[in-house]
Structure 1
């Protein structure tokens, strides 16, 4: 039986990975610590580690993992912008779960919008105190509004279908438009100018880093609503907070935050929040922040566990790594894998 170590373990992770570990003949040692330069030594003696998008897998971390015998990092998520692939290339394989439930994320994006627009969160708190006043709870019809979708991969396209179900006009921006669809593509500038609501569904790259910032916010409609269930650094959070204070932005639903690593997934209810921007966003009455939970459905957690363990079994069995990413992939958007279907 192959043995792996698992970082940043949460109770829901253990439930679903324990369900599948015997099927793949894998034994798991669970660690609560996040993977970073200080904790990487815990993986000494293991050939494989399971990590998450909020772990810090930089050059120093990779060096320690490699010296300790690690030869594969299995990301139990789709995102991988936290990994130094140049440092990992030709030393440590990196695999991921490319799609676990695009429906989960798309549905959460709409849930954020509906909650924000119809003030469900505020009504819930009021009625708990027997306050049944409707003052301040006015929303707007989604029907007929223009939704701007940034990124038309699987999640973005599912979200577009949901929006059309509400009778919304949908426009989209993607540097790589989906073929054979009826999606109405426009430039990013036009999307900013025309959209009543903007929802982000694109990966974080050097080109999309701070895609939403002061200049983009300036040309948006007054009262625009922004939804982000993708990556926090797609938005310059300080610029967003200022736009909300100036009432340029009418609301924001955020499942991600660019400096979330130290905060999200942890119970900090007894701690002082030392991030003034995050504190400011949370304090706004027209902002909803959820802690990167868009993926969190039973179906998604089951798929994550099964695909992650299949990725590891393929490695241990000497098979090709279908879901591998490497320095060549991230640098050139393709990878000429070797005859064994591995990057190196």
Structure 2
């Protein structure tokens, strides 16, 4: 999708039986037809490509519900403005809710709901795809081949067979990652705040996982305990040349610490689908920007770094589940699990 300043807006009020007036912020073109089809004319829905913020919340006037995504601004000032406009419900088209000030919503009497789970395989497969692409230098190989350079000198990779993979967080996504790495012949170490009955996982302490893993993949929600869990101190505990994969939330990793780890060689590979400072950057086209994010620009200089723009969820199957569950929440507010 091109620059979101050229925003699109259309109304799905094509049918008569309306239950709720809702506005979708940060709507992607790939969601359009799926959302209209899932809605089936039940609700009066307006779609905006703009993100929700203090300026754009005015478009929620006379609506009942606001539907957001991970990079929308759902902080206290925005929630207070939404409440003044009469908003009663907020739905996020994501599992994570770290972008929403739940206390502010509670004070304003606004009910908040999330998507409990959707295609964990989509994110799990993307995490493994990042790992495999890094291990075999596929991006560099493709770039060389496109200019007819077929030299192999800097393309030596490694087998995953026999390697130790540490999975931090074994909820739906982490658990879906286990059989993929196990199928590659990896030994899998797992850490979670709750021990679960998952086959082919050796449960260890976080320090042991850091110390023994060749590959570390993050699958935990962002909260006060997990923010910056990958930092200077934890990186020092890891093997030299460790691979770190993050398809969770950008703030799980202190980016400046990974830059130092890359410079020293402590981190051998870094694959991220999320970025600490992605808000206002990811999901939009910034190719023409004269000034670019300096930290991200520095990361992109490393051939052993692979970055994707928060697209791990972006499969046909996952999108279908997200839009279907979003409309179901609008249909059945009294019967969904409300987070307040």
Kept in 2, the 8 Å contact 1:146–1:168? The answer is yes
Q: How does 1:1-344 map to 2 (within 5 A)?
A: 1=18, 2-22=20-40, 25-89=42-106, 91-179=109-197, 181=199, 183-315=201-333, 319-322=334-337, 324-326=338-340
Asked if the contact 1:21/1:27 (under 8 Å) is kept, the reply is no
Gaps of 5+ in 2: 1-17
CA distance in 2, matches of 1:48, 1:63: 14
Q: Alignment length, in residue pairs?
A: 321
Q: Any stretches of 5+ residues in structure 1 without a counterpart?
A: 327-344
1:201-256 Cα offsets, whole Å, 9 max, x none, are 11111000000000010111000000000011000000001110111100100000
Please list the CA deviations of residues 180-201 of structure 1 after superposition, one character each: whole Å capped at 9, or x if unmatched.
6552111111111100010001
Residue 341 of structure 1 is matched in structure 2 by none
Change (3 A) 1:180 1:107: closer
Paired residue for 1:333?
none
Q: TM-score, normalised by structure 2?
A: 0.92
Please give the alpha-carbon distance, in whole angstroms, between the structure 2 residues aligned to 1:293 and 1:273.
Answer: 24
Measured in 1, the distance between the counterparts of 2:34 and 2:147 equals: 37
Q: For residues 235-284 of structure 1, what are the alpha-carbon distances to aligned partners after superposition, in whole Å with 9 as ceiling and x for unaligned?
A: 00000011101111001000001110111000111113432111111121
The 3-state SS of whatever aligns with 2:70 is coil
Secondary structure of 2:203's counterpart equals coil
Whole-Å separation in 2 of the counterparts to 1:195 and 1:46: 50
Report the Cα distance in structure 2 between the residues aligned to 1:152 and 1:272, rounded to whole angstroms: 41
> Taking structure 1 as the reference length, what is the TM-score of the superposition?
0.91
